[in-house]
Structure 1
Amino acid sequence: MSDPKGYTVGWICALLVEYIAAQELLDEEHEKPSFVSPHDDNDYTLGKMGEHKVVIAVLPDGEYGTASAANVATNMLNSFHNIRIGLMVGIGGGVPSESHDIRLGDVVVSASRDNGGGVFQYDFGKSTQDQCFHYMRFLNQPPTTLRTAMAGIQALYKRKGHQLQGTVDSILDKNSRLRGEYQRPPHDTDKLFKAEVIHGLGDCGLSCADDPSKLVLRCERAKDEDNPTIHYGLIASGNQLMKDALIRDRLAAEKNVLCFEMEAAGLMNTFPCLVIRGICDYSDSHKNKRWQGYAAMVAAAYTKDLIQRIPLNRIEAEERISDLIAS
C-alpha cells in the first residue's frame, strides 16, 4: 500500500474519459493508499510523472458541476495532506474568435489576465429571458512555481514546438484498445457552425454539416503552426452546460473567454488549481462526443509536460494547499 504523505501533486478529473487519459500518462502506477479520511469516498489512482508523485481522483459517475468538484477536492486534501500543486484537467468547450483561432483538439490553460485569476464563475441572473448574468472573479491562483513553469513551457513550445501528438500516438501504440476512442478524429470532422445556426433533430453530421452556408470557413493551419495549439487565458465556469453560440459569443466579447466548463468554479476557494481543458466542442448546440477522448488525452499530455518541467525540490518548498486554505 502507498503512503499518502508522499504525494504532492493533486489532479482532479470530472469524467471517466478524462480519468483514463490521466492514468495513461503516468510513468509508474502505485498501489492504493494505505489510509484515507474516514468520510472520503473518492476513487484514487496513484503514481509518478517524472520525479513527482501524483494522486488522481474523479468525480462520482453521473455527477457534474461545481458542488461535486468541491466535495472531491475537499476529500482529497483531507486524505493527502502534503499536496502542494492542484490541477483540474479534462475537456471543455472552446470559444473561437477573430482573436483566438481555437479548434477542436487544442488545449486551453487558465491564466491570469487583468490582475485577476484565470477562472471566473458565470451564472444566470434572476431574469434568464433577458440573459442576465452574475459574475464572480476568483483571485486565487496556482503557486508561483506552477506559473513559472507555464512561462517556461510557452517559451519552449514557441522555439521548438511540442510533441503532444507523438505522446498520444505512443500511448495508443502501447494500448491499442483505447485507439478507437482516443485517437485524433479526421480533420473534416472539425466543423465550426455560424452562431445563428442551431442544431435540430437527428444526427448533426447529416442535418447540419451538409450545407456549407452554415459553416464558418477556416484555412488549414500552416506547417509551422503548432497543431494542437495551446492557448492561455480566461476560463468561464458554471453549473449549466454552455450550448448556445450567441450567449457564448456575448460572454466572450464581454470577458475575453477562451473556454467554458462546469467544475473549476467549485474548486478555486478550497483547492486553488491550474485548469487545463482539451477542446472537444465549440460551446454550441452542435455537440457530440467524437473529440472527447482525444481532447482529454492531449490535455493530459500537456499537463505532464508542465509537471516534468518543475524540479522536485521546488514543489516540496511550496506551501501545502490545506495550510494555505486554513490561513
Structure 2
Amino acid sequence: MPPLPSHEYHVGIICALHIEMAAMRAMLDEEHGTFSKKAIHDHNTYFGGQIHNHNVVIACLPAGIDGVVAAGTVAKDMSRTFEQLRFGLLVGTGAGIPNLEAGVDVRLGDVVVSRPSGVYGGVVQYYRGKSKAGGMWEPKGMLNAPPVVLLTALQSLQAEYELEDSRMPSYLAKMLERRPKMRSMGYARPEMDKDVLYLAAYHHVVGRTTCDACEVAQTLARPPRVSTDPQIHYGVIASGDRVVNDAVTRDRLRQDYGALCVEMEAAGLMNDFPCLVIRGICGYADSHKNENWRRYGAATAAAYAKELLLHASIEETSQEKPVQQILGKSSETTRSEQDWAEQFFSKKQVTFQ
C-alpha cells in the first residue's frame, strides 16, 4: 500500500548503515513504501510501514557519513517531516564489551539495549569530561534517559521473558523465509566457532584480513551456550565520534562507565530525540576482524525492536507529546567537545579504522 499521511506515523526508526535499514525493513509486517513529500530542506529518505499496530518510518544516515552530529541531523529532519512522531528507536550494530568477571557474557549476535543504570540514563558520551589524578576520567554533562513509554515497554518485555521464550528467533526465521536472498547476503547466524574473544593485550596480526593467523592460545575461554539464540543485555551504551578498535580502551569504557557496548550515533540523539538504543553485537571493539557478524547483528537488533513494539501500546504511544514539542538544546558537538575527544584518545593511544 502507498505511504500514509505523515501525521499518522508515531514511531521513527533511525539506522546508520544500509544493511541496518534493510534488516529493519525486513521486519515490517506491512510495507508502505518510500515517501516523496518531506519538509523543506529535509534530505532524508524515508521508508514507511507497519509493525504490529504501529505505523513506523525508517531513515538511514547518508552513505559514508556517521557520528553523533549526523545522527542528530537525521533525527531533527525526521521530526519536522513527521510532526506527530512520539518517540524513536536507534537500531543497528555495535561493539560488545564483555565483563566475564561480573558474569556479563556479551557475545556476537547478542543485543544490547540502553537502560538507565546508576547515574547514567542509558547512554554516555564518553569523550566529554576531564581527566583526574590516577588516570580516572570524569564525564561532563548527562544525556537523557529514554521516554517512560519505552521504559515501560522494556519492563513488560523483560517480564514476558520470565514466562515465555523470545519471539526473536521466529522473526529471524520468517525474515529469511520471506527474503531468501538475505541468507546468501549474510543475515543468517554465522557458525559459533567464528565467535572468538582475544585477550585485550593481544593484537591482530598485521597485514592479515582474517584472524586465521592469530594465536588460539591468546583467546579467552568461555563456557558453551546451551542455545544459539541471541541473548539480551540491558545497561549503559558508550557513544562517541570515533571507531574504537583497541581492547584496552574498550575495557576502560567498561571500567569507567560500566558500558556493555560502544557505538557512534546515540549521543547525538538522546537530548533532542526521545528514543531507545538497540544494538546487535558484531564485534568486540578490538583490532580483530568480525565482518561476518555485521549483517546478523543488524538482524538481531531489528528483531528485538519488533518484539519491543509489541509491548508499547498504541494508547500510551498516542498520549505522548510529539517530539517536535519537546525538542531541547542542540546536540551538535562543539569545538570544545572535539578537543576533549582528542585529549581522551591521545592519552589512551587508541587506534582507529
Q: TM-score, normalised by structure 2?
A: 0.86
Give deviations 1:2-61, integer Å, cap 9, x for gaps: 311000001000001100000001111114335211100101000100110001000000
- Name the counterpart of 1:202: 208
Give deviations 1:110-158, integer Å, cap 9, x for gaps: 000114310010128799xx98866345341222111011011111112
2:265 maps to a residue whose letter is E
Give the total of aligned pairs: 321
Structure 1 residues 139 and 60: CA distance shift in structure 2, 3 A:
closer
Give the Cα separation in 2 of the matches to 1:281 and 1:316.
37
1:90 maps to a residue whose letter is G
1:222 maps to a residue whose letter is V
- Name the counterpart of 2:241: 239
* 8 Å CA contact 2:136, 2:256 repeated in 1: no
Give deviations 1:205-249, integer Å, cap 9, x for gaps: 2121xx2211001111135xx831100000000100111101111
Give the Cα separation in 1 of the matches to 2:155 and 2:78.
28
- Name the counterpart of 2:19: 17
- Name the counterpart of 2:87: 85
Structure 1 stretches of 4+ with a deviation exceeding 4 A read 124-127, 130-134
Give deviations 1:170-199, integer Å, cap 9, x for gaps: 111111111021000001000000000111
Give the Cα separation in 1 of the matches to 2:258 and 2:75.
28
Superposed, 1:266-305 pairs within 5 Å as 266-305=268-307
Q: Given the alignment, which residue of 69, 72, 75 partners 1:73?
A: 75
* 8 Å CA contact 1:107, 1:230 repeated in 2: yes
Unaligned 5+ runs, structure 2: 330-353
- Name the counterpart of 1:316: 318
User: Which piece of structure 1 moves more, 136-145 or 86-95?
Assistant: 136-145
Give the Cα separation in 2 of the matches to 1:238 and 1:131.
19
- Name the counterpart of 2:334: none
- Name the counterpart of 2:162: 158
* 8 Å CA contact 2:12, 2:85 repeated in 1: yes
* 8 Å CA contact 2:16, 2:92 repeated in 1: yes
* 8 Å CA contact 1:25, 1:49 repeated in 2: yes
* 8 Å CA contact 2:153, 2:312 repeated in 1: yes
Q: Given the alignment, which residue of 168, 172, 179 partners 1:175?
A: 179
Give the Cα separation in 2 of the matches to 1:91 and 1:196.
24
- Name the counterpart of 1:218: 222
1:122 maps to a residue whose letter is Y
- Name the counterpart of 1:26: 28
Superposed, 1:87-126 pairs within 5 Å as 87-98=89-100, 99=102, 100-123=104-127
User: Which piece of structure 1 moves more, 276-285 or 249-258?
Assistant: 249-258
Shift of 1:290: 0.5
Shift of 1:86: 1.1
- Name the counterpart of 1:260: 262
1:206 maps to a residue whose letter is D
2:38 maps to a residue whose letter is V
2:213 maps to a residue whose letter is S
% same residue: 42
* 8 Å CA contact 2:128, 2:141 repeated in 1: no
1:175 maps to a residue whose letter is R
1:261 maps to a residue whose letter is E
Q: TM-score, normalised by structure 1?
A: 0.93
- Name the counterpart of 2:196: 191
2:122 maps to a residue whose letter is G
- What SS is found at the alignment partner of 2:113? strand
- What SS is found at the alignment partner of 1:233? strand
Alignment root-mean-square deviation, CA: 2.0
- Name the counterpart of 2:58: 56
* 8 Å CA contact 2:120, 2:236 repeated in 1: no
Shift of 1:250: 1.5
Matched, 1:2 2:8: no
- Name the counterpart of 2:343: none
Give the Cα separation in 2 of the matches to 1:57 and 1:272.
16
Matched, 1:144 2:148: yes
Give the Cα separation in 1 of the matches to 2:117 and 2:66.
27
* 8 Å CA contact 1:96, 1:258 repeated in 2: yes
Give deviations 1:61-103, integer Å, cap 9, x for gaps: 0001011111101110110011101110000000011221100
Unaligned 5+ runs, structure 1: none
